[in-house]
Amino acid sequence: MKNFRENKGFTMIELIITIAILSFGITGVFMAFSPFVTLNYSVSSRFTAVYLAQEGLEVIRNIRDNNFINKLTWSDGGLTNCQGGCQADYKTGTLVETFDNQLKPYDPDNFLKINGDGFYGYDGGVDTIFKRKITITQPSGTDTLKVKVQVFWDYNGQSFDFETIGYLYNWY
């Protein structure tokens, strides 16, 4: 009987203190890794923005090349109409181009969409967080086009953007 009284086990207070210590520990670990989850999503969005900016340059390069093949000038192909910004996607200037993905003035309310195949465009799919603005200028007295591609997106109430610049040369 004396042995039974000495081994009463944990009291309720000891149990509550143990749970509190474990809770603080688990919360601390969660808070330590929480910024990494946010950073991971931010890096993923930035990689997508870099890809979309590079694709914008390639779309304009493709239009320039098709103009050359069809013996059109830059102005005939619409490239010099983008001083205020244009929008284009991977179908722009190709045989599968529709009204939605023609080279047209930039609309800040028009988000890129991603389709079932994982391609970003304007003609179908699910809206994404990304917008792309392509600005084309021709420095005076040169046979060069300066192409600036900006990709914009918002995450957690904060605005982000990525910009790249490329130059295209007239082949004539």
pLDDT digits 0-9 by tens, 63-112? 888 888 888 887 777 888 889 999 999 888 888 888 888 889 999 999 99
> Given pLDDT bands bounded at 50, 70 and 90, which one contains residue 9?
low
Q: How far is CA 52 from CA 46, 113, 143, 170, in A?
A: 10, 12, 26, 24
Percentage, residues of the chain above pLDDT 70: 88
User: Cα(50)–Cα(44) distance, rounded to whole angstroms?
Assistant: 10
Which pLDDT score is estimated for 94? Answer: 84
User: Cα(126)–Cα(122) distance, rounded to whole angstroms?
Assistant: 10
Contact 56, 134 (CB under 8 A): yes
pTM: 0.75
- The pLDDT mean for the chain works out to 85
Structure tokens at 87: 């929008």
